Chain A
Amino acid sequence: DTAVSQTPKYLVTQMGNDKSIKCEQNLGHDTMYWYKQDSKKFLKIMFSYNNKELIINETVPNRFSPKSPDKAHLNLHINSLELGDSAVYFCASSPQVWGNSPLHFGNGTRLTVT
């Protein structure tokens, strides 16, 4: 069973479009995250939710809007896509918001904006 799953794995779209990425975890964790990984493999936190409550909202354009319908799901909606949004987006989860446990990652969604 996949612990953290995200869909789609690949997303190719044109500038100006709106797209969503979905994430689900079956680990029973309370906290979920979105990270953006650039071409140099740097992982940067975007958002985190703890039991459906927004905890972290980094300096991310407001074109990006996360939604957590329940603690097992965290989706990411992106409006008016730009070329610079091209990256790999990773969903992750941890047991609780206090970080003494490792993150569990999904396999990423590679977004390409043309």
Chain B
Amino acid sequence: EDQVTQSPEALRLQEGESSSLNCSYTVSGLRGLFWYRQDPGKGPEFLFTLYSAGEEKEKERLKATLTKKESFLHITAPKPEDSATYLCAVYTSGTYKYIFGTGTRLKVLA
């Protein structure tokens, strides 16, 4: 069965303290891996799409990477405004479904 697991469940960082969030997946026929950011009371907001192992995408303080088994969201020198829940999702061939992980709740302290 296709599965997506995110770790850690929650993460507290000091402002400027870089770290990484993990998204591990067990799926057949990955067609895309997606990262989202979700703020309280809002819907998930798209950040990145990764399609194949070795691919990397960057946006401001965020960088997403992909291997055959997992993806990392690296946060460099985070700021309090980066506090949110970060979700990853995968889309596999033949299922027509986006399967989500349970998210990582990130809190960045000033």
Is A104 an interface position by the 8 A CB rule? yes
Is B65 an interface position by the 8 A CB rule? no
Contact A97 to B96, CB < 8 A, known contacts A40-B102, A43-B87, A103-B34: yes
Per the bound structure, the CA–CA distance linking A44 and B100 in Å amounts to 7
Contact B46 A103 (CB under 8 A): yes
Is B103 an interface position by the 8 A CB rule? yes
**76-110 of chain B: CB within 8 A of chain A:** 85, 87, 89, 91, 96-100, 102-103, 105
Q: How large is the interface on A (under 10, 10 to 19, 20 to 34, 35 or more residues)?
A: 20 to 34
Which of A11-19, A60-68, A72-80, A105-113 faces chain B?
Answer: A105-113
Cβ of A108: which chain B residues have Cβ within 8 Å of it?
Answer: 41-43
Per the bound structure, the CA–CA distance linking A44 and B97 in Å amounts to 10
Q: How large is the interface on B (under 10, 10 to 19, 20 to 34, 35 or more residues)?
A: 20 to 34
Most B C-beta atoms less than 10 A away, residue of A55, A56, A103: A103
**41-67 of chain A: CB within 8 A of chain B:** 41-45, 48, 55-56
Q: How far is the CB of B31 from chain A (nearest CB, A)?
A: 6
Cβ of A84: which chain B residues have Cβ within 8 Å of it?
Answer: none
Per the bound structure, the CA–CA distance linking A107 and B46 in Å amounts to 13
Cβ of B36: which chain A residues have Cβ within 8 Å of it?
Answer: 102
Per the bound structure, the CA–CA distance linking A46 and B99 in Å amounts to 11
Interface of A toward B, CB cutoff 8 Å: 4, 33, 35, 40-45, 48, 55-56, 90, 92, 97-108
Interface of B toward A, CB cutoff 8 Å: 31-32, 34, 36, 38, 41-46, 49, 51, 85, 87, 89, 91, 96-100, 102-103, 105
Give 20 CB contacts A-B under 8 Å.
Answer: A33-B98, A35-B100, A41-B38, A41-B103, A41-B105, A42-B103, A43-B87, A45-B97, A48-B96, A48-B97, A56-B97, A99-B96, A99-B98, A100-B32, A100-B49, A102-B49, A103-B44, A103-B89, A105-B45, A107-B43
